[in-house]
């Protein structure tokens, strides 16, 4: 069951994604993707939500424009069912530095807690703004694969894995 809809003091609403969010997500978060690809992501999210295994969250402003998003998935292996992972984390450029990323992570933590998870994970390219931002949001590095990402063969980045605990009171 997805977390309850919550309003934030910044005027943002973070909720499960809907089909009608596709165009707004393309404009503000996934400009390199086609509408069809975004619609497919939304459809996959609905399937995962129905199974209680994942959800794509979207942050919408007062104009109902998507200004941030992430997917939260519970790990499937029986030894890892207490862990959830954030992927596809994007905050629209005009919404960066507003505290929205922290609100999205909190919504993801609550969602993972509702599945009984106690650990929230995320990964990124090492040495990037994302790595610094995730650390600032409270994630701690637990692993690093040197040269784990090759971008068009020219740029090489470490694959950095980070985690944070999900407290019992997050449920």
Domain ranges of the chain: 6-170
pTM exceeds cut of 0.85: yes
**pLDDT value, residue 4:** 36
**pLDDT value, residue 10:** 55
Q: Is-contact 107 100, C-beta < 8 A?
A: no
- 3-state SS class at 32: coil
End-to-end Cα distance, the chain: 12
Given a cut of 50, whether residue 118 has pLDDT beyond it is yes
Q: Output the CA angle 13-17-19, nearest 5 degrees.
A: 125
DSSP summary character for residue 53:
S
Distance CA 108, CA 3 (A): 9
The CATH number of 6-170 is which of 3.50.50.60, 3.10.50.40, 3.40.630.30, 3.30.450.80?
A: 3.40.630.30
**pLDDT value, residue 153:** 72
């Amino acid at each position: 069951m997805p977390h309850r809809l919550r309003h934030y003091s910044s005027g943002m609403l973070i909720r499960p994604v809907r089909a009608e969010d596709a165009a707004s997500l393309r404009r503000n978060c996934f400009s390199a993707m086609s509408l069809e690809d975004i619609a497919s992501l939304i459809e996959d999210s609905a399937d995962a939500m129905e199974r209680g295994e994942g959800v794509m969250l979207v942050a919408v402003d007062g104009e109902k424009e998507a200004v941030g998003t992430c997917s939260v998935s519970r790990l499937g292996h029986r030894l890892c069912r207490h862990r959830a992972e954030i992927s596809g984390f994007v905050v629209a450029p005009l919404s960066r530095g507003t505290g929205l990323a922290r609100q999205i992570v909190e919504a993801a933590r609550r969602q993972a807690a509702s599945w009984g998870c106690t650990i929230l994970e995320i990964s990124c390219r090492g040495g990037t703004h994302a790595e610094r931002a995730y650390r600032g949001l409270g994630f701690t590095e637990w692993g690093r694969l040197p040269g784990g990402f090759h971008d068009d063969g020219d740029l090489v980045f470490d694959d950095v894995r980070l985690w944070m605990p999900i407290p019992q009171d997050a449920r």
